[in-house]
Structure 1
Amino acid sequence: MAGGSDQKLDLEVIKEMGKGLGNIKKAFDGLEDLGGKYEDDFGNGDLADKFGDFADNWKLSRKRLTEEIDVLAQIAKAAGQAYEDIDHQLAQALRDAQDPKKGN
């Protein structure tokens, strides 16, 4: 194909990436909050406060990561579907072009 792209896409890899990212999001969603659960175990108020700060930061960071992972999962799924649709349309166009009944 003259002037065509030499890039190859593995549709299964793209689709699996979407599923994998979706699974990561589910795992992040299922993590429990750390805040307030272990403060008595530290035995030191300053250490417990530091851990509380960490837990609060982790909760916010986890929320942002989860949202970004979800967006990436949706993009990968949509890309896989779009490339698959294009592939089917191109294959049909080639079949139609070679079919003498179509008038070509």
Structure 2
Amino acid sequence: MGGNTDQMRADLERIRECADAILGIHDTFANSANPAEGYGKSELGATTLLDAFDDFEDNWSIRRGKLTDELKALGDIVAGAAEMYEGIDRELAQALRDNDAAREGAS
């Protein structure tokens, strides 16, 4: 049983690491802005390039919002799964201890 428990712990740790990574990606995307923000024609050299960056910013803002919402939801689901598995593991361990105690008391 110890080997299975160790395997479960390793899996739970990987699930938690996955949740942390997803939420880290969420934070990165949530804080990413237009790479040309604060620059004007004099820095970029052409109005066309400035317009392209403005269009990118508009599209990126919309898509970034959707992406960050989805990343947050996925990160929360994965973190919740780890908590759920850990809770089930605790309940199962307690049930086994209770069963062992009842068997010892009956002997």
TM class by shorter chain equals 0.7 to 0.9
Q: 1:95 to 1:36 in 2, by over 3 A?
A: closer
What letter matches 2:56 in structure 1? F
Shift in Å at residue 37 of structure 1? 2.7
Give the helix-richer structure, 1 or 2.
Answer: 2
Residues 40-78 of structure 1, C-alpha deviation per residue, up to 9 Å, x if partnerless?
133222232222111211121111111111111110111
Secondary structure, aligned partner of 2:38: coil
CA contact (8 A) 2:34 2:53 kept: no
Q: 1:45 to 1:102 in 2, by over 3 A?
A: farther
Residues 71-101 of structure 1, C-alpha deviation per residue, up to 9 Å, x if partnerless?
1111011100000000111111112222225
Q: 1:47 and 1:32 mapped to 2: Cα distance?
A: 17
List alignment gaps of at least 5 residues for structure 2.
1-6
1:56 maps to 58
Q: 1:45 to 1:65 in 2, by over 3 A?
A: same
List alignment gaps of at least 5 residues for structure 1.
1-7
1:78 maps to 80
Taking only the aligned residue pairs, the percentage that are identical comes to: 36
Worse-superposed segment, 9-18 or 74-83: 9-18
Q: Which residue, out of 43, 48, 52, partners 1:46?
A: 48
Q: 1:71 to 1:102 in 2, by over 3 A?
A: farther
CA contact (8 A) 1:18 1:76 kept: yes
Q: 2:105 and 2:63 mapped to 1: Cα distance?
A: 58
- Alignment RMSD (CA, Å): 2.4
Worse-superposed segment, 27-36 or 58-67: 27-36
Secondary structure, aligned partner of 2:32: coil
CA contact (8 A) 1:96 1:102 kept: no
Worse-superposed segment, 74-83 or 34-43: 34-43
Q: 1:30 and 1:79 mapped to 2: Cα distance?
A: 26
TM-score (norm 1): 0.76
